[in-house]
Structure 1
């Protein structure tokens, strides 16, 4: 059974309906739980689209549970003068304030007619557990959309296959495998790649189409090398690098892929504003900001600066400043993966 079609995992002692993120539906209260952000975004957008199709006058409001002004929930859910339906999307419930927690628990006792409240909880912390338990017990007339992490290769393959199946689009099995391997470390990027092919390609999606869009094995290997090195997995990074080189990868795009990720990390580092706001200001996508923030785990200003300098040196060397471009890439990967000067 595919990841998308597998029944959603129930929360502890859950007494409310469990709904697939691929086919969400409105309810007075919708709990969107789990860490897989792309699935959560689809679910939340799906609820909005259903409500807006039923009534284009839908009022949509966003609330942050961690930066909550008392009285906001009641104010936004209360009927307006003309009685338009209301959708309130609450993010950050896993780090909610005491004020939000108290008011949300109170709201469950008397949900407002015509209002749909979406609670987004990533599961990253146990904060808000009392609220989740109350929702899952049936208080508030809620439903749950579970978005568990997609970690296994088989689940990523099923996810991508369902993307094309849902769009009634055919993709060759070999092309699907290449596409999944190209984005093996980020489901959001994989989803975006699937949607781009679905929207851009009029006919069936072949191996040639995937290679034309995503660079084939060389570019795929470049980002695998970059991801494993930045994550500090030195052994895996060297294995990935040697596999890429043995497969015919050019050192230039390998270094370019690594340098690109390091530059994005540097641009994002130190900023605490929401991903959407930072992405808009920097000219990035939300998922790029989120990915860079994950990549920054374990890095500091000193090690990141050292890695960027090493990437600049490697870029010059692979473009002609060195007689041994392969060694230049190996040295760069070593510096990044170990986060220390070469040879130390």
Structure 2
């Protein structure tokens, strides 16, 4: 039996010029960066790049061939086709025709945000071994942390895992904001980056985050956890993300604990980040299965109360934090 063919999809940060390039996926920031990397590669050596942008949704027949015509001055050409996920029939027809014989002197980048529209063209491009650069959605907390880690790794800047965690806690889950915060931190600090650097620049935003509350509660530091909760609420933080962070930490403990009992590898079998697993193993030294179940139940109750079952969501949050911290010390 012939070996399975590896996926054609390449990481967004590896994007490079080619006669035809497909950038696929819904994450706008990553797609924009992929296009910019290709443009920068074409501009190396001081070359002037003749750039044309087309919209596949409002495309007019013949525009692709016209845009891809080589420059009279031998400048490298770049054609960017946006919105291929909503392409009209005219672009589909021209795209299929162009894919049969792309001009080697021009780089045509097709940006497809996802979905089934234009599947015939996508399949044709992939069968022709056109390079595909993946820009997957970054939504989960673990994905945001992984993205941030990648920002520092690609810049060859060492940073502690806890510092990345603190930065994401401070900035939030918006990928563009996280990217900007990573860049700012690297510009402002020389050498290795630590949690202290993050705290210095994002101070109160870090100290009052949901994961800081969760860390304190799970470690049994009742006074610190309650102080953080009260500070967060006083500065306008909604209780929902605070209780969500506590629930997330407890779920991580439960997953790692269950994996250990079933002889599973949380990294390989559950897709968890190594630093998450290491941290959970340390936290689990204070917990057993019964107390962990009680903590999860208490947080679930608080979550329901905060989302409408109680007239005092702040009290419900504080009670849950106190219960978790007390269980950690039981």
Aligned to 2:167: 179
The match for 2:229 among 235, 246, 252 is 246
Aligned to 1:126: 116
For residue 117 of structure 1, report the CA deviation from its aligned partner: 0.6
1:79 aligns with 2:70: yes
Aligned to 2:88: 97
Distance 2:123 2:59 in 1: 21
1:209 aligns with 2:201: no
For residue 38 of structure 1, report the CA deviation from its aligned partner: 2.1
Aligned to 1:158: 146
In the alignment of these two chains, the number of paired residues is 229
Aligned to 1:62: 53
For residue 327 of structure 1, report the CA deviation from its aligned partner: 8.7
Query: Taking structure 1 as reference, are residues 162 and 218 closer, same or farther at Cα in structure 2, changes over 3 Å only?
Result: closer
Return the index of the structure with the highest Cα Rg: 2
Distance 1:144 1:52 in 2: 21
For residues 1-344 of structure 1, the aligned pairs below 5 Å read 17-53=8-44, 56-123=47-114, 125-138=115-128, 142-217=130-205, 221=209, 246=229, 248-249=231-232, 251-254=234-237
For residue 64 of structure 1, report the CA deviation from its aligned partner: 1.2
Q: Mark the runs of 5 or more structure 1 residues left unpaired by the alignment.
A: 1-12, 223-241, 256-325, 331-344
Asked whether the 8 Å contact 2:167–2:206 carries over to 1, the reply is: no
For residue 145 of structure 1, report the CA deviation from its aligned partner: 0.4
For residue 32 of structure 1, report the CA deviation from its aligned partner: 0.5
Q: Mark the runs of 5 or more structure 2 residues left unpaired by the alignment.
A: 211-224, 239-311, 317-330
For residue 252 of structure 1, report the CA deviation from its aligned partner: 4.2
Asked whether the 8 Å contact 2:199–2:206 carries over to 1, the reply is: no
Asked whether the 8 Å contact 2:24–2:112 carries over to 1, the reply is: yes
Query: Taking structure 1 as reference, are residues 91 and 220 closer, same or farther at Cα in structure 2, changes over 3 Å only?
Result: farther
Report the structure, 1 or 2, having the larger helix content.
Answer: 2
TM-score (norm. length: structure 1): 0.58
For residue 40 of structure 1, report the CA deviation from its aligned partner: 1.6
Asked whether the 8 Å contact 2:50–2:78 carries over to 1, the reply is: yes
Distance 2:117 2:192 in 1: 46
Asked whether the 8 Å contact 1:210–1:216 carries over to 2, the reply is: no
Three-state SS of the structure 2 residue aligned to 1:38 is helix
Three-state SS of the structure 2 residue aligned to 1:248 is helix
Query: Taking structure 1 as reference, are residues 41 and 63 closer, same or farther at Cα in structure 2, changes over 3 Å only?
Result: same
Distance 2:35 2:227 in 1: 39
Distance 1:244 1:27 in 2: 56
